[in-house]
Amino acid sequence: MPVGHTVAGPEPGTVLEPRTDPEEGRVWYAAYGSNMHLSRFDCYIRGGTPAGGARSYPGCRDRRRPERSLSVVLPGTMYFALESTVWTGGMAFYDPQGEGEMPARAYLITPSQFSDVSRQEMRREPGVDLDLSEVLTHGRAQLGPGRYETLVSAGSIDGRPVLTFTAPHRAEEMDLNPPSAAYLRHLVSGLAEAHGWGVHRIAGYLATRPGADREWTPESIVTLIERAVDPAV
């Protein structure tokens, strides 16, 4: 069973239903990278510098924490590409047309919070609401050429859209790059919190993502996790 802040909702492995418009001023933000780790995502909401990161985030106008979070699985795949200025190494991106399914963590937040989180990921200043009409109507909206400037609607939960952001290109069109150890630690924590996965399942998943498979193996990720618990390992 999922652990951490996961509450009742779609079981892991459930493919989300077709998208709908937001109700009652809330949307689900589907985090699939380091933001699955709640303490890391908190830096986008309340401001601050994540552990192991090199960037301080201003936070959202509305600093209330998410009302709920759920473990979800989106159609498609996660891959690592380009070079992070926060972590070094590759960053996580979502290819909705990729094979398989991708574990994620959905946070129930306001549209303004989603706008501010998105703008921080786009390396823009928060404070201006994004126009979500295109992504809600067509399932995709490219707001710019940048790394996280393409919005995607992956489905809906309880009538509220599940939104995320990614690069505008497919995985095979990107410059794949393995992630850093510091970045992977947040993904490890996020998968454990949101999905309740064990060490070996997490390691097997992450090591086989495109980009990560160029450097990481399940065994090396298990060692990374063990060293985080016991530096003497």
Average pLDDT, the chain: 89
Q: Considering the domain boundaries, does residue 149 fall inside one?
A: yes
CA angle 185, 191, 192 (to 5 degrees): 90
* DSSP type of residue 229: H
Q: Supply the range of the domain harboring residue 89.
A: 27-229
Cα 36 to Cα 34: distance, rounded to the nearest angstrom: 5
Per-residue pLDDT tens over the stretch 115-128: 999 999 998 999 99
pLDDT at res. 123 = 87
CATH number at residue 54: 3.10.490.10
Cα 162 to Cα 117: distance, rounded to the nearest angstrom: 14
Q: Considering the domain boundaries, does residue 5 fall inside one?
A: no
pLDDT at res. 5 = 27
Report helix angle 218-229 to 181-195, nearest 10: 80
Number of structural domains (the chain) is: 1
Could you give the 3-state DSSP secondary structure of residue 3? coil
Q: Considering the domain boundaries, does residue 14 fall inside one?
A: no
pLDDT at 41 over 70: yes
pLDDT at 11 over 90: no
pLDDT at res. 136 = 96
pLDDT at res. 228 = 77
First to last CA, the chain: 29
Per-residue pLDDT tens over the stretch 85-131: 888 999 999 999 999 999 999 999 999 999 999 999 998 999 999 99
